[in-house]
């Protein structure tokens, strides 16, 4: 699963839980976890990730800083859009016409 730790050119691995539902003759995805929170971080000029505290100060800690907010993108999301944030390695679970892997 491509998740928040994925970096361009990196390996897609790991797992994430989300729901697949069939509604109005099409598959849709619901991810209440990422629909309700987000990771606060930033990329420096070298392309390296750094953690940013909620007060805006950079921290040396490698633990994720979590923020909370409702993001409608993760509720009833079209599979073609969700593969950009939730790319599963099982092409059957992508439920798109041309699977990406």
The per-residue pLDDT for range 36-55, each reduced to its tens digit, is 887 766 556 666 656 555 55
- Nearest Cα to Cα of residue 59 among 82, 79, 42, 35: 42
- Which pLDDT does position 27 carry in this prediction? 93
The CA distance from 11 to 72, in Å, is 28
Q: Which helix (H) or strand (E) holds 49?
A: strand 49-52
16 token code pair: 């994430």
The two most distant CA atoms of the chain are separated, in Å, by: 48
- Is residue 15 very low, low, confident or very high in pLDDT (cuts 50, 70, 90)? low
pLDDT mean across residues, the chain: 76
Q: CA-CA distance, 80 to 83, in Å (whole number)?
A: 6
Please check the confidence at residue 21 and state whether its pLDDT lies above 60.
yes
Residues present in the chain in total: 101
For the chain, the domains span 19-93
Q: How many CA atoms lie within 13 A of 86 on its CB side?
A: 24
What predicted TM-score, i.e. pTM, was given to this entire model? Answer: 0.58
pLDDT of residue 11: 72
Summarised one tens digit per residue, pLDDT across range 51-88 is: 555 555 665 555 566 778 888 988 999 999 988 878 78
């Amino acid at each position: 699963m491509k998740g928040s730790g994925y970096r361009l050119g990196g390996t897609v691995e790991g797992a994430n839980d989300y729901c697949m539902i069939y509604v109005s003759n099409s598959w849709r995805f619901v991810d209440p976890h990422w629909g309700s929170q987000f990771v606060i971080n930033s990329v420096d000029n070298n392309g390296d990730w750094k953690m940013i505290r909620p007060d805006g100060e950079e921290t040396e800690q490698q633990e994720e800083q979590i923020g909370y907010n409702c993001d409608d993108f993760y509720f009833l999301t079209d599979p073609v859009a969700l593969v950009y944030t939730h790319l599963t390695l099982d092409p059957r679970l992508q439920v798109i016409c041309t699977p990406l892997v």
